[in-house]
Amino acid sequence: MANPNPNPRLKILLVDDDADTRQLVSMMFTDSGHKLLTSASGKAALTLLEHEKVDLILLDIMMPELDGLMMLESVRRYSAAPVLMLTALSDPRIMEQSYLLGANDYIGKPFRKSKLLERVDRLARQLTSFVEDGRASWRNDYQIDFDKSLLTFRGRTIEMTSNELRLLTKLMDNAFLEIDLFDLYEAVWGREPLPLTTRRALVESAVTSLREKLESDPHNPRILRSTQNGWTFFPA
């Protein structure tokens, strides 16, 4: 439902690892009568969103650990809140990817106060009702039964090994974050000091098996994706 107030007072979340930007934007929106929440990382912002409903998100792209694009993909799984990307990147491919992932607008750094406020006011007029509870609703699609070595995935029962279930649990607990080989190995096989090649083979074999059981196209995975230093779990 559209917000009938053309100039609503908004609860806005700013996610940016740059302290100067957070301070500058905080002053802008405090002066404008809006309530601003801030977060210095994407991971912390996702935790905040588990218990805070916000009207609009201002999201930096270049952040360590969980960048803005990865966070945007996560947010769009449970919220329709408008997202305005704030970034020093000028690559048109990044801009296109932002829109494809669900961003509503994109503004480059450095930006003028008047321009940012104008973009936010425009998005405010387009506000729709949002999902009330964003608390990891995707987990309902993954019901694990360790006693029976079964996974119920979207109503489909899949036989799993205990190692596959432990691996999946570790991935689910760190959804949207990159997990490296050593963290996954320790979560499943403990700290047994096997040779690196053996540890790598064990993890890669389990990852391949999980993909075959979860992915509609294991050769083009969308749920369990390879990254530069490991893997990232994106709930489907």
- pLDDT tens, position by position, 126-163: 664 333 344 456 777 888 998 889 999 888 999 999 89
Looking at the fold, whether 18 and 99 belong to one and the same domain comes out as yes
Residue 184 phi/psi, 5° resolution?
A: -70, -40
The answer on 150 and 115 residing in a single domain is: no
135: Cβ–Cβ under 8 A, 6 or more apart, which residues? 50, 51
83 and 152 in a common domain: no
Number of structural domains (the chain) is 2
In a 3-state reduction of DSSP, which class is residue 224? Answer: strand
Write out pLDDT tens, residues 215-226: 999 998 989 999
- Whether 51 and 29 map to the same domain: the answer is yes
| Helix (H), strand (E), coil (C) string for 148-214 | CCEEEECCEEEECCHHHHHHHHHHHHCCCCEEEHHHHHHHHHCCCCCCHHHHHHHHHHHHHHHHHHH
- 172 vs 165, 203, 234, CA distance in Å? 10, 16, 9
Any domain includes 224: yes
Q: Is residue 174 part of a domain?
A: yes
Which pLDDT does position 4 carry in this prediction? 37
* Final residue before a domain boundary, out of 70, 100, 124: 124
Segment 179-202 shows an average pLDDT of 89
Q: Is the pTM of this model over 0.85?
A: no
Q: Tokens 């977060």 appear where?
A: 39
Query: Is 23 in the same domain as 96?
Result: yes
Any idea what the CATH number is for the domain that residue 227 is in?
1.10.10.10
Same domain assignment for residues 185 and 220? yes
The first and second tokens of residue 39, run together, are: 């977060």
What confidence category does residue 68 fall into, taking pLDDT thresholds of 50, 70 and 90?
Answer: very high
Note whether residue 1 is domain-resident: no
Same domain, 148 and 113: no
Residues 85 and 145 in one domain: no
- Calpha distance 60→41 (Å, rounded): 9
Domain boundaries, position 56: 11-124
**pLDDT for res 229:** 83
pLDDT in tens, 10-42: 889 999 999 999 999 988 887 777 889 999 999
Identify whether residues 44 and 87 lie together within a single domain.
yes
33 and 96 fall within a common domain: yes
Q: Are residues 120 and 152 in the same domain?
A: no
Q: How far is CA 68 from the centre of its chain?
A: 8
